[in-house]
Amino acid sequence: MKNFISKILGQKSIARGYVELELSWPEDCETPKPGQFLTIRIQDQPVPLLRRPFALSSFNLDKRSASIVYQVRGKGTRILESLPAGSSLDILSPLGNSFTNPSKEETAILVAGGIGLGPILYFARELDRAGMNTILVFGCRDKTLIPNLPPLKNGSIQYCTDDGSAGFSGSSVAYLESLSLKELSQPRLYACGPTGMLRACHNFALKADLPCETAMEEMMACGVGACMGCVVELEGKEQKYARVCKDGPVFQSRDIKWT
Ligand SMILES: Cc1cc2nc3c(=O)[nH]c(=O)nc-3n(C[C@H](O)[C@H](O)[C@H](O)COP(=O)(O)OP(=O)(O)OC[C@H]3O[C@@H](n4cnc5c(N)ncnc54)[C@H](O)[C@@H]3O)c2cc1C
Ligand code: FES
């Protein structure tokens, strides 16, 4: 983990209310892994006080740049969106753990919803680069929220809309239920998105007896494991709680107590 000043290399809208931000990454800072995140001190003012956490959505080793995909939600992200290329950002990263790589025999099914797109996209791009068979499933309310993404070379992207305005008509989990899992080589599930979607992915994985990892996005204060402000309750573990920022954000879904 390193605290550094980065420059914004560019920002572009990829769907209604969603922005992809590319930032410079110093030579002496380790390469982040899919699932890991950064925190940004948005500006040198008392408000917003807390650093804002965002998952990495890509990393370019040659260019030494990284990206995040964020939804414009409140004060912090509105300020972030207004910053032009060349602006400085105070970054702390890489933070947290990362997804477990699937084996060559496994088919990775990556499910994303809303602000969960970033880490899933990074993982999908890395697996695709490694020639792995990957299915990325992105669920959203309607077609205006479908991100403009380049296709995967070795895998596929399935969009799902609740209102049926594009792609599969229904939720991402309804899409999973429509798949013939027997035709896939050893499916393995990964998910990031709203809690309801994560819970549904976990229940699907339990029923289908599939391994499933979920990246959690709890509210955070310190972001480095010091304040216990981001705990999730665990199931069947000696330890009752885990910190999302330090012990996660990626957990085996069966280890989480889904309430
Ligand atoms: C590990 C981690 C990774 C994240 N990755 C991403 C990402 O890749 N892209 C992205 O857009 N967002 C991500 N988030 C959420 C992001 O940090 C918040 O959306 C952001 O901090 C909001 O800042 P704001 O000042 O604009 O909004 P605020 O004014 O602080 O809040 C606006 C609204 O957003 C809600 N909100 C704030 N923080 C969170 C949160 N952590 N989870 C859910 N709702 C929240 C608040 O309840 C409020 O309703 C991540 C959060 C965590 C903990
Ligand atoms: S945010 Fe402080 S311990 Fe996680």
35 is in an annotated binding site: no
Looking at residue 218, what is its pLDDT? 85
Alpha-carbon separation of residue 151 from 20, 118, 133, 147 (angstroms): 17, 15, 13, 11
Ligand (nearest to CA of 69): 1
190 is in an annotated binding site: no
227 is in an annotated binding site: yes
* Interatomic CA distance for residues 167 and 160, integer angstroms: 5
Boundaries of every domain in the chain? 2-95, 107-214, 218-259
Average pLDDT, rounded, for the chain: 94
Q: How far is the CA of 223 from the centre of ligand 2 (A)?
A: 5
Looking at residue 78, what is its pLDDT? 95
Q: Model confidence over 125-178: pLDDT tens digits?
A: 999 999 998 999 999 999 999 998 999 999 999 999 999 999 999 999 999 999
ipTM, two decimals, is: 0.94
Q: Model confidence over 87-139: pLDDT tens digits?
A: 999 999 999 999 999 999 999 999 999 999 999 999 999 999 999 989 999 99
Q: Model confidence over 196-215: pLDDT tens digits?
A: 999 999 999 999 999 999 99
Looking at residue 46, what is its pLDDT? 67
Q: Cα-flanking dihedrals φ and ψ of residue 50, to 5°?
A: -80, 145
pLDDT at residue 53 tops 90:
yes
* Interatomic CA distance for residues 215 and 11, integer angstroms: 24
What ranges make up the beta strands (E) of 61-201? 65-71, 88-95, 107-113, 134-140, 156-161, 168-169, 187-192
Q: How far is the CA of 245 from the centre of ligand 2 (A)?
A: 6
Cβ 226 under 6 angstroms from ligand 2: yes
31 is in an annotated binding site: no
Q: Answer yes or no: are the C-beta atoms of 206 and 154 closer than 8 Å.
A: no
* Interatomic CA distance for residues 191 and 54, integer angstroms: 16
- Superfamily classification of domain 2-95: Translation factors (2.40.30.10)
Cβ 94 under 6 angstroms from ligand 1: no
- Superfamily classification of domain 218-259: Dihydroorotate dehydrogenase, electron transfer subunit (2.10.240.10)
Binned at pLDDT 50, 70 and 90, residue 47 comes out as low
Cβ 47 under 6 angstroms from ligand 2: no
What's the whole-number mean pLDDT along residues 182-193? 93
Residue 76: how many other CB atoms lie within 10 Å: 21
Cβ 77 under 6 angstroms from ligand 1: yes
Cβ 229 under 6 angstroms from ligand 2: yes
- What's the CATH number for 107-214? 3.40.50.80
Q: Model confidence over 149-162: pLDDT tens digits?
A: 999 999 999 999 99
